Amino acid sequence: MKGNGETILIIDDKRNILEVLKGYLENEGYNIVTCSNGEKAIELFKESSPDIILTDFKLPGINGIELIKEIHSYDEELPVIVFTAYGSISSAVEAIKVGGYDYLTKPLDYDLLKIRIRRALDEKKIKMENRFLREELDEQYSMDNLIGKSEPMKRLFSIIRTAAPSSSNILIEGEYGTGKELIAKAIHNLSPRKDKPLITVDCSALPENLLESELFGFEKGAFTGAVNRKQGRIELAAGGTLFLDEIGEMGPNLQAKLLRVIQEKNITRLGGLAPIKVDFRLIAATNRNLAEETKRGNFRGDLFYRLNVIKIEAPPLRDRKEDIPLLVKHFMEKISKRENKPPKRMSPGVIEVFYNYDWPGNVRELENCIERMFILSEGELITEDYLPGEIREYTRGKVKPTTRRSIQGSAGEKDTLKNGVNLEEIEREAIVRALEIASGNKSKAAKLLNIHRKALYNRLKKYGLK
C-alpha cells in the first residue's frame, strides 16, 4: 500500500543509505526529510512535524536511545523505527524498551520496511481516531465529573455554559446526592474566576455561632479561645467563588448578615471594627424549595431574591435513568483505578435492577452501591448476588423483560455527535481497520483498540463482522 503524502524523517550518518531510502520512499508516495545526526534530527522534528521517524541506532553525538527519549518528550506516540547492524539485537531490544515502535536489521529489506512503515502509520491513525472519539464523547457527556447524555443533563450542561461567564449569583436546588457541589465546581471552572479559589462552606455542618466565625473570621480576643486572628471563608474567596452548600439550614441572624455582605460587598470580622472589601461570586445550594420556605417564613425573602438571580435545578437520578450506563462505566473505572484492581463489569441483570430502582440517594447512592459491589465481588463479572438487600427487596417483582438494557445502552439506540457523525459507524470502521492491521488476529486488534477481547467479540457480533 502506497503512502498518502505522510512525512518521514530519516536519520543515518551514511549519505548513500539516505539517498537510497529517500528515492525508494518518495516513489512510494511519502514526503522525505533527511539528516545525518541526532541533534539536527531534533531540529527537523520540530520544524517538519513528521508522521514517523526512521533512525540508525548508532549516530554521531546522541544515539538512537537518547533520540527516542528526546522525541517522545514532545510526542510520546510518534512511531520510531530503529535500524541496527546484524547481530546487535540487544541494542534493538533496548530501543523498544524506551518506546521505539519497531526495529530492522541492516542490510535493510525494503519490502519489509515498506510494510512496517504502513503498519505503524495505520496504528497511529487508529489511536488518534480513538482519542478523538473519546474526547468528543467526554465533551458531550461530561463536565467536571458531571456525567450524562439524557435531556435533563443536556439542559443542565447548557445552562452551566451560559451562566458560568457571568458574575451573577446562582442558586442550585436539588435533592441529596444529585451533584450540586459538582455543578458549582463546573461553573467556577468555566468562569473568568477559575484561577482564583473556590471556597466551599457546608452550612448544615456547624452550629450558627461556629458558622458565623467560619464565614466572617475573627480578630484576636474576639471571644474565649480566639488566640489569633483568623480570616473567614468569605474573605478567602476574594477574587474567586464562594459556594454555600445547604444554605437553607442557615439561621435567620446569619441570613441577615449574609444579605448585608451581598449588598455592601464588604465584611467585618468578629471583634473587628474596620470593614474589609470583598469581591466574590456567590453560588448557593439547597435540598429545600426556598420559594416555599420563604412563604412559610423560614427563609428571608430579600435574601432569596438576591440568591435566585440564576436558578439551576439538579435533576434526580430517577428522572435521568438513561444516564445509568454512563455512570456505571465511570464509577467502575474510577474504583478500579483507585483500588489498583483489574476492571470488572456488571451483569445485565444488575443493570436491569438499577433501572427499576428509584435511587432516593441519587448519584451518590449509586456510586456507593457500585463501590460496595466492586469490593465484595469475586471475578470479572458482578452479579445480582452482590446487590444490597434493600435494593433487591425494593425492585423484587418490578423488573420486566422490556426494561432490560446493557451497559452499552439500548440495542436500537444510535449515539450521534454534535456534528452529526454516527458513533457506531466510526466504531465499526475502527474495528475493521484494526483487524486489517492485525492480519485478522483478534487479540492484537483488541489491544490496538484498547478494549478487552470479549468486548471486541461482542462488537464483531453486533456489526456482523467475522
pLDDT value, residue 209? 85
pLDDT at 23 over 50: yes
The percent of residues above 70 in pLDDT, for the chain, comes to 88
Return d(Cα 79, Cα 166) in angstroms, integer.
45
Decide whether 7-108 matches 151-314 in CATH topology: yes
User: Which residues, including other chains, have CB under 8 Å from residue 321's CB and lie 6 or more apart?
Assistant: 150, 354, 355
pLDDT band at 214 (very low <50, low <70, confident <90, very high): very high
- Min mean pLDDT across 80-89, 356-365, 400-409 is at 400-409
Phi-psi region of 319 (alpha: psi -120 to 50; beta: other; left: phi over 0): alpha
Assign domain 151-314 to its CATH architecture. Answer: 3-Layer(aba) Sandwich (3.40)
pLDDT at 284 over 50: yes
pLDDT at 138 over 80: no
Return d(Cα 444, Cα 356) in angstroms, integer.
38
Specify the residue for cell string 422490556. 402
Instruction: Identify the CATH class of 322-414.
Output: mainly alpha
Return d(Cα 45, Cα 71) in angstroms, integer.
8
* Mean pLDDT, rounded, for 23-51: 91
In terms of Cα–Cα distance, which of 188, 144, 142, 141 is closest to 166? Answer: 188
- Min mean pLDDT across 52-56, 211-215, 302-306, 441-445 is at 441-445
Parse the chain into domains and list their residue ranges.
Answer: 7-108, 151-314, 322-414
User: Residue 282 in 3-state DSSP?
Assistant: strand
pLDDT value, residue 132? 58
Return d(Cα 316, Cα 424) in angstroms, integer.
29
pLDDT at 450 over 50: yes
CB count in 10 Å sphere of residue 418: 8
Does the domain made of 7-108 have the CATH classification 2.60.40.1930? no
DSSP assignment of 417-436: -TTS-BHHHHHHHHHHHHHH
Backbone angles phi, psi at 100, to 5 degrees: -65, 145
Residue 61 near residue 38, CB atoms below 8 Å: yes
